[in-house]
Amino acid sequence: MIRFQNVSKVYARGARAAVDRVTLDVERGEFLFLVGSSGSGKSTCLRLALREERPTGGKIFVAGRDLSTLRQWKVPHLRRQIGVVFQDFRLLPNKTVFDNVAFALQVLGKPRHHIMTTVPETLDLVGLDGKGKRYPHELSGGEQQRVAIARAFVNRPAILLADEPTGNLDPATSVGIMRLLDRINRTGTTIVMATHDDEIVDQMRKRVVELADGAIVRDQSRGVYGAAR
Amino acid sequence: MSRARFVLAELATGLRRNVSMTVAVIIVTFVSLTFVAAAALTQMQIGNLKDDWYDKVEVSIFLCPSDSSVPTCADGEVTAAQRDEILAVLNSDSVAPYIDTVYTESKQEAYDALQEQMAGTVWAESVTVDLMQMSFRVKLKDPEQYQVVADAVAGRPGVDSVRDQRQILEPLFVILQRATLLSAGLAAVMIIAAVLLITTTIRLSALSRRRETGIMRLVGASNLFIQLPFMIEGALAATVGSLLALGALYFGVRYLIEDWLANSLQWANLVTTDDVLAIAPWLVLIAIALAAFSSAVALSRYTRV
Ligand SMILES: Nc1ncnc2c1ncn2[C@@H]1O[C@H](COP(=O)(O)OP(=O)(O)OP(=O)(O)O)[C@@H](O)[C@H]1O
Ligand SMILES: [Mg+2]
């Protein structure tokens, strides 16, 4: 589903590589944790897969597309197959929960009847049924992240990229979010999650890829956060 | 359709957030397009006058009267031989192609014309047929080609002077030409201001909606879809500005020219509100082009995928 072939990213000429010759294969339906200390290049990897950044070396394939030859005007088509969730939720404060989620479909020009059925369905899935009329500031952090996940998933993307989705949440709330991501993963969605949260990684027992200074230093199925000691 | 409704909703938000900037855009386009249109109308006026008058103007070759001090008239009144020679020059291969018609005005005819024009004045009473001058009235195919004829006959024996009626009109055209230039110059300056202002407005609008456009990009909205509300915002303001300019010109021409100036200048074919309407589509088109250009500049950096 996502394949990195010897991918490097150097932001500024002369700077050290943020991503250093990474080769990685993520299968369809896989759940992968990207771990590593701050500045190890996790977010950069996710941005490369979204084609928000272009690699300075190597090739990236996402959902069967070669990103190096993908035309600029086709980038939106790529992004429709990828949902993204961030640590800071990135909700629109002046829109209700329902409208925040509907926004993702509206801007793709989806018909009204489709929006009216899909959005409640998705809110239901993320555990927010009945909260559609609330505004983001009327929700807890965990609930806000659920809205963000609903928005990322409402178009049923094949891939979900999550950059520290539990970074702003307490452990109990984080567990809830992880259950939700696991449920989404079970629908066949490939998930790549960058995180610092060792408890979660240890609990989930999914594939773990560890980066250090931009390079992969560990790739372990059913792994834990710290290296196996 | 939900897509159109969505764009309209975004557009409304944008306009509401930027009321004062939008008003500024409207005013600047209004003023700049008024000058553009004023330049166009002046040009049309020049065209009208040329069409009208160039048809009527002629080159007059005055022949020597009995008492002229001009050297070519040293032999006294023009002779029949000299007249024939001048006519031959006008009919020669090098000059004839420029000439439409040649009319010979006799002294009697010149006298009659004077009597008619100056009836009742001392001029009409003091003059006699013999004092009048015989002349060839040459109508040119292209009135601008006066010099060819003048060069061919001036200085020949029997020719007193050559006069081009067009020269009497020329100062007026120069004034109108300068008015056009002034108007076009002001238009150019104002258009630059308009482009800068529209660019800034759209940029501010895009910045104030960074959050939304960021999410749009992430969920895979197309570039056009993201940019459309901003483009329409600019185009709308510019179009309103162009309509105001048209309104101002329409009423300006209606009251200043049709109602007032046309009465005191009945001999001239002045521009009318029809002319304003004729340039109307162009003005709106220019406004939209301005907005499109500005959006392209403004949006290339702020909402790129
Ligand atoms: N836009 C940018 N311009 C220049 N350098 C950047 C940019 N983004 C990231 N970097 C650099 O690239 C390196 C990797 O950054 P990245 O954000 O991918 O790390 P990370 O693993 O996500 O860190 P964190 O866990 O703190 O989020 C860092 O050294 C960072 O300074
Ligand atoms: Mg990061």
Distances B158 to B77, B80, B164 between C-alpha atoms, Å: 7, 9, 18
Q: Which of B7, B216, B218 to mutate to test the interface with A (most CBs of A within 10 A)?
A: B218
Q: What is the mean pLDDT of chain A?
A: 93
Q: Where are the beta strands (DSSP E) in B134-206?
A: 135-140, 159-164
Residues A70 and A5 grouped into a single domain:
yes
Q: Are B162 and B150 in contact (CB under 8 A)?
A: yes
Residue among B1, B3, B219 whose CB faces A79 most closely: B219
Joined tokens for residue A110: 């989806």
Between CA B72 and CA A174 the distance in angstroms is: 113
Ligand 1, atom 7: nearest CA belongs to which residue?
A11
State which of A42, A56, A195, A216 you would mutate to test the pocket of ligand 1, scoring each by most atoms of that ligand within 8 A of its C-beta: A42
Residues A5 and A101 grouped into a single domain:
no
Q: What is the pTM of this model?
A: 0.73
Cβ-based interface (< 8 Å): residues of A facing B: 50, 72-73, 75-84, 90, 92, 103-104, 106-112, 115, 151-152, 155
> Looking at the domain assignment, is residue A229 inside a domain?
no
Q: Range with the lowest mean pLDDT among B153-157, B211-215, B265-269?
A: B265-269
The number of distinct structural domains making up chain A is: 2
Between CA A185 and CA A167 the distance in angstroms is: 20
Residues A109 and A152 grouped into a single domain:
yes
* Counts of helices then strands in chain A (DSSP H, E): 7, 10
> Looking at the domain assignment, is residue A177 inside a domain?
yes
Residue-wise pLDDT tens digits, B17-67: 778 888 888 998 898 889 888 888 888 888 887 777 777 778 888 888 877
Residue-wise pLDDT tens digits, B113-150: 878 877 777 777 777 888 788 888 888 888 777 788 88
Residues A177 and A166 grouped into a single domain:
yes
> Looking at the domain assignment, is residue A127 inside a domain?
yes
> Looking at the domain assignment, is residue A87 inside a domain?
no
Cα first-last separation, chain A: 31
> Looking at the domain assignment, is residue A110 inside a domain?
yes
Alpha carbon of A46 to ligand 1 centroid (Å)? 11
Domain ranges of chain B: 2-53+170-302, 58-164
Residues 6+ apart with CB under 8 A from B234: B25, B198, B201, B202, B291, B292, B294, B295, B298
Q: What is the mean pLDDT of chain B?
A: 83
Residues A149 and A124 grouped into a single domain:
yes
pLDDT above 70: percentage of residues in chain B: 96
Residues A99 and A109 grouped into a single domain:
yes
Domain boundary among A130, A156, A182: A156
Say what the pLDDT of residue A100 is.
96
Q: Are B18 and B99 in contact (CB under 8 A)?
A: no
Q: Are A31 and A162 in contact (CB under 8 A)?
A: no
Residues A71 and A119 grouped into a single domain:
no
Residues A123 and A68 grouped into a single domain:
no
Q: Which of the two residues, A163 and B131, has the higher pLDDT score?
A: A163
Say what the pLDDT of residue A229 is.
43
CB contact under 8 A, B222 and A151: no
Q: Look up residue B112 and give its DSSP letter.
A: H
Q: How many CB atoms lie within 10 A of CB B176?
A: 15
Residues A77 and A164 grouped into a single domain:
yes
Element (H, E) at A224: none
Say what the pLDDT of residue B178 is.
87
Residues A119 and A72 grouped into a single domain:
no
Structural domain containing residue A126: 92-156
> Looking at the domain assignment, is residue A86 inside a domain?
no
Q: Look up residue A38 and give its DSSP letter.
A: T
Residues A1 and A62 grouped into a single domain:
yes
Q: How confident is the model at residue B266 (pLDDT cuts 50, 70, 90)?
A: low
CB contact under 8 A, A72 and B2: no
Between CA A208 and CA A31 the distance in angstroms is: 9
CATH of the domain at A59: 3.40.50.300
Size of chain A, expressed as the number of residues it contains: 229
Domain boundary among A123, A140, A156: A156
State which of A11, A46, A84, A86 you would mutate to test the pocket of ligand 1, scoring each by most atoms of that ligand within 8 A of its C-beta: A11
pLDDT at B305 over 70: no
CATH class of B58-164: alpha beta
Residues A3 and A74 grouped into a single domain:
yes
Most confident of B221-230, B265-274, B277-286: B277-286
